[in-house]
Amino acid sequence: MENLTAIILFAISSTLTPGPNNIMVMASGANHGITRSLPLLAGICFGFSSMLLLTGLGLGQILHLIPELHLIIKIIGISYLLYLAWLIARSGDVTTSSDSNEPLSFIKGALFQLTNAKSWIVSTGAVAAFTTAGATFYNQNAILALIFFTISFPCVGAWLFFGSSLRKALKNPSRRRLFNYTMACLLVISVIPVNTMIQH
């Protein structure tokens, strides 16, 4: 792959900028700390890298041939996002560790990628921009997914550390509640511009 520097810069910019993944991770870090939020971080990074591979293997072409699937994915995605926003809004006290206050899991983070409009745009754009047709296409696609997997951990992880740094300030129940409601609202709002882009 000739444009390795460009790929790395694109990976950094697309995973470090605000979006649903980073909002979820920041909220989890603030409510549950770094260690308990690591499965969510790993799920997001693994799920997005897997999406890149699937896109390169032809899932993007299938969606192009069957436009109706976009609407189905969109409905599922919005429903799942609202469910995750509801979980964030109802996150418990940052000082408790009960089963009812569990952070989002690896599976939830991974599955969210399939319904995250920003992830679809980034993955299809990356495959289109940084791979070329030919015998080495699948190798290029695998390298692209590996680069994003490697870059996304520190970039998305930075949001986790930022959220964790807010834990002391959020020990006050009213502040914690306001933070969780704000994060839930931002999670919902964060996909509106991307969904508008998809419609056009």
Residues 35-73: tens digit of each pLDDT: 999 999 999 999 999 988 888 887 656 766 776 766 776
% of the chain residues with pLDDT over 90: 30
Give the pLDDT mean for 166-171.
82
pTM of the entire predicted model: 0.77
- Which residue type occupies 79? S
Residues 94-111: tens digit of each pLDDT: 444 444 478 889 999 998
Contact status, residue 52 vs residue 121, Cβ threshold 8 Å: no
Per-residue HEC secondary structure of the chain comes to: CCCHHHHHHHHHHHHHCCCHHHHHHHHHHHHHHHHHHHHHHHHHHHHHHHHHHHHHHHHHHHHHHCCHHHHHHHHHHHHHHHHHHHHHHCCCCCCCCCHHHCCCCHHHHHHHHHCCHHHHHHHHHHHHHHCCCCCCHHHHHHHHHHHHHHHHHHHHHHHHHHHHCCCCHHHCHHHHHHHHHHHHHHHHHCCHHHHHHHHC
CA dist., res. 78 & res. 75, Å (int): 5
How confident is residue 132, by pLDDT bands cut at 50, 70 and 90?
confident
